[in-house]
Amino acid sequence: MYFSKEMQESSLKLTRKWENEVQKALKNNPDQKERFSTVSDAEIKRLYTPEDIKNIDFAEDISVPGEFPYLRGNQATGYRGRYWTFRMFSGMGSAQDTNQRWKMLLHQGQTGLSTAFDFPTLMGYDSDSPKALGEVGKCGVAIDTMEDFMTLMEGIPLDEVTTSMTINPPATVLFAMYCAAADIKGVPLTKIGGTIQNDMLKEFIAQKTFMCPPEASVKLISDTVEFGTKFVPRWNTISISGYHIRESGSTAIQELAFTLRDGIEYVEDVIHRKRLDVDDFASRLSFFFNSHSDFFEEICKMRAARRMWAKIMRDRFHAKDPRSMWLRFHTQTAGCSLTAQQPYNNVVRTTVQALAAVLGGTQSLHTNSLDEVLCLPSEHAVEIALRTQQILAEETGVANTIDPLAGSYFIEALTNEMEEKAWEYIHKIDEMGGMIAAIEKGFPQMEISEAAYRFQRQLDAGEKIMVGVNKYSTDAAHPIPLVDIDEKVGEEQIKRLKDVRRKRDNKAVKTSLDNIKNACKKGDNVMPHCIEAVKNLATLQEICDVYREVYGEYRDPGLY
């Protein structure tokens, strides 16, 4: 940042004076601890001054919203035209249960849907697979066939509401179901909007919801990107996610670096495999970050992410369209920061984390419910979480002005520092031959494991604090009502699945599955064949089994 010579001199002089004062004061009143660091263990200075940001070039490094490097936001108008999307992740039990919860949320003022699937669905198994034992409907909604999906979407206007689906290995299948649902309801594909998470690299790195090996997984993702680009233009075909990387114990910088490097890997694959121009599809890539408890670190992470992605798109991929350079992202507050002890404190944590996401300029936000560390959220808890967002947006005034923290010595210095360290990671992974190669070496996995273990040790040693867990703990319990998913949900789901298998045209199912297999073998786009298969009532697992057969199955390498 430009500072006049006089100002620089007076700043240095004053800073030195302050340093002397600090030294004097410390003799009588030492600091509470030796080292002050973020939740990610990045050391923070006592004071930031103009000295810390003197090398910043305003036009090149900061600029205004809607201008490169988009540090301050993609849109010139900020939140004044429109708040972020209030998007609460939900799904439970049967398709009908979830449909009811969705209608409640829309009624309460939620502006977008977000689907949580149960583990069998997430992993590409039907509810009656032996692997699904005990899991059906537990962590989200169970979807086996197109019939379940139609129940899920009953009464939902697909041309008005956008839907996000947290689905990864079977993303082609769920995307196909959404397209088929639009078809059946008579809504053109050009009118539907939403997101599939469809980010497999972070699964290998962090969340471990995987099916096929990395390369084949990326191929399937490129299929959806190509299909979306050509036929479903309002669909975000990937949500490149740092959320799960962070939840598995990474630092903020690792989250930032690995997520953007994953993004690079996808862009490269689509360009090479599909021969698409970067500007044809890059504007439909979306991102998903975590908002953890260290307030300023999170804000700086999100700001740095925007600036870095803009540089990546401009300098690495030579994108011309500004929209390709925009990093649009959804944020979820940090599930791993919630405590089972004194669960009402979670409301406060979530509020601060949500505020960080807003000040970081998120496009969409899920606020965790206070009971999510214990079970699926109750209606009441979800309502409080949604109200948290509404209070931030409409009472606090934080959305009145764009990027209000810009120009702060600390914020700009920390944004720069995080960006610099994230580049180091990205360059290292480039040298390894890209993210797939790095994953095969176990590099990101082991970096995260180190960080997670360090944090746990610091927690045990009392160097990091979680209120109610390792400090201020009490024996007094304030129990909260828990949501319980009845084991009957599974039984009923299996019954529905068996009915579908009985009544469908099995010959048509076989033909459409064969078509998918051929497309896989030839390297063709599987999407049109998937849509046909789900319409013929092929089950989720039947389609995924084709992928497993052709591409092989990836198993946890067990890095620790």
Partner 1 sequence: MPERKIRVMVAKPGLDGHDRGARILARCFRDAGFEVVYTGCHQTPEQIASAAVQEDVDLVGLSCLSGAHRVLFPRVVELLREKGASDITVIGGGIIPEQDLPALYDSGIKAIFTPGASLDSIVDWIKTNIKPQ
Partner 2 sequence: MDSTIKKICDGDVRSASRLIRDIEDKLPDARAKIKKLYAHTGKSFIIGITGAPGAGKSTLTDALITEFRKKNKTVGVLAVDPTSPFTGGAILGDRIRMLRHAEDTGVFVRSLATRGALGGLSQAAGNAIHVMEAMGKDIIIVETVGIGQQEIDIINHAHSVVVVLVPGMGDEIQTMKAGLMEIADIFVINKANRAGAKQLQTELTSMLNLSPKTADGWKPPVVMVGNAFEPAEFAKDTAGLAKKIGEHHLYLQKSGKLNERMHRKAMTEIRDALGACLMEPVLHSLMESGELEKFSEKIRNRKTDPYSVAEEITEKFFQKRGKA
Binding site for partner 1 (CB under 8 A): 119-120, 122-123, 125, 130-135, 138-139, 203, 207-210, 247-249, 336, 339-341, 373-376, 449, 452-453, 456-457, 459-460, 466, 468-470, 479, 482, 484-485, 487, 555-560
Closer residue to partner 2, CB minimum distance, 214 or 228:
214
CB 58 within 8 A of CB 1: yes
From the list partner 1, partner 2, none, which binds 22 (C-beta under 5 to 8 Å, kind-based)?
none
From the list partner 1, partner 2, none, which binds 208 (C-beta under 5 to 8 Å, kind-based)?
partner 1
Cα–Cα distance measured from residue 549 to residue 26, given in angstroms and rounded to the nearest whole number? 67
From the list partner 2, partner 1, none, which binds 289 (C-beta under 5 to 8 Å, kind-based)?
none
Closer residue to partner 2, CB minimum distance, 311 or 428:
428
From the list partner 1, partner 2, none, which binds 551 (C-beta under 5 to 8 Å, kind-based)?
partner 2
Comparing C-alpha atoms, which of 508, 520, 530, 550 is closest to residue 175?
530
Q: How many residues does the chain have?
A: 560
- The CA R_g of the chain, rounded to the nearest whole Å, is 24
Contacting positions for partner 2 (CB under 8 A): 213-216, 441-442, 551-560
Closer residue to partner 2, CB minimum distance, 27 or 522:
522
Tabulate helix, strand, coil % of the chain (nearest 5).
Answer: 55, 10, 40
Nearest distance in Å: CB 216, partner 2:
7
Closer residue to partner 2, CB minimum distance, 213 or 404:
213
Q: Which residues pair with 288 in a beta bridge?
A: 241, 330
Closer residue to partner 2, CB minimum distance, 116 or 205:
205
Cβ neighbours for 153, distance < 8 A, ≥ 6 positions apart: 99, 181, 185
Q: Which residues pair with 114 in a beta bridge?
A: 89, 164
Strands annotated E in 292-352: 329-333
Nearest distance in Å: CB 108, partner 1:
25
Tell me how far the alpha carbon of residue 532 is from its chain's centroid. 30
From the list partner 1, partner 2, none, which binds 481 (C-beta under 5 to 8 Å, kind-based)?
none
CB 458 within 8 A of CB 464: yes
Helix (H) or strand (E) holding 530: helix 527-535
Cα–Cα distance measured from residue 140 to residue 485, given in angstroms and rounded to the nearest whole number? 10
From the list partner 1, partner 2, none, which binds 341 (C-beta under 5 to 8 Å, kind-based)?
partner 1
Nearest distance in Å: CB 552, partner 2:
3
From the list partner 1, partner 2, none, which binds 441 (C-beta under 5 to 8 Å, kind-based)?
partner 2
Closer residue to partner 2, CB minimum distance, 475 or 556:
556
Closer residue to partner 2, CB minimum distance, 130 or 155:
130
Nearest distance in Å: CB 544, partner 1:
13
Nearest distance in Å: CB 215, partner 2:
6
SS3 (DSSP) at 374:
coil
Nearest distance in Å: CB 487, partner 1:
8
Nearest distance in Å: CB 450, partner 1:
9
Encoded amino acid at 12, one letter: L
From the list partner 2, partner 1, none, which binds 408 (C-beta under 5 to 8 Å, kind-based)?
none
From the list partner 1, partner 2, none, which binds 216 (C-beta under 5 to 8 Å, kind-based)?
partner 2
Nearest distance in Å: CB 275, partner 1:
34
Closer residue to partner 1, CB minimum distance, 130 or 186:
130
Cα–Cα distance measured from residue 355 to residue 295, given in angstroms and rounded to the nearest whole number? 8
Buried b (16+ CB within 10 A) or exposed e, 321-353: ebebbbbbbbbbbbbebbbebbbebbbebbbbb
Nearest distance in Å: CB 253, partner 1:
18
Give the Cβ contact number of residue 213 at 10 Å: 17
From the list partner 1, partner 2, none, which binds 554 (C-beta under 5 to 8 Å, kind-based)?
partner 2
In DSSP notation, 93-138 reads SSHHHHHHHHHHHHHTT--EEEEPBPHHHHHT--TTSGGGTTTTTT
CB 351 within 8 A of CB 386: no
Closer residue to partner 1, CB minimum distance, 123 or 392:
123
Closer residue to partner 2, CB minimum distance, 188 or 552:
552
Closer residue to partner 2, CB minimum distance, 423 or 551:
551
In DSSP notation, 177-199 reads HHHHHHHHHT--GGG--EEE---
Nearest distance in Å: CB 463, partner 2:
21
From the list partner 2, partner 1, none, which binds 343 (C-beta under 5 to 8 Å, kind-based)?
none
**Angle 519-521-527 (CA atoms, 0-180°, nearest 5)?**
25
Comparing C-alpha atoms, which of 225, 245, 244, 242 is closest to residue 233?
225
Nearest distance in Å: CB 548, partner 2:
9
Nearest distance in Å: CB 34, partner 2:
25
From the list partner 1, partner 2, none, which binds 185 (C-beta under 5 to 8 Å, kind-based)?
none
Closer residue to partner 1, CB minimum distance, 209 or 286:
209
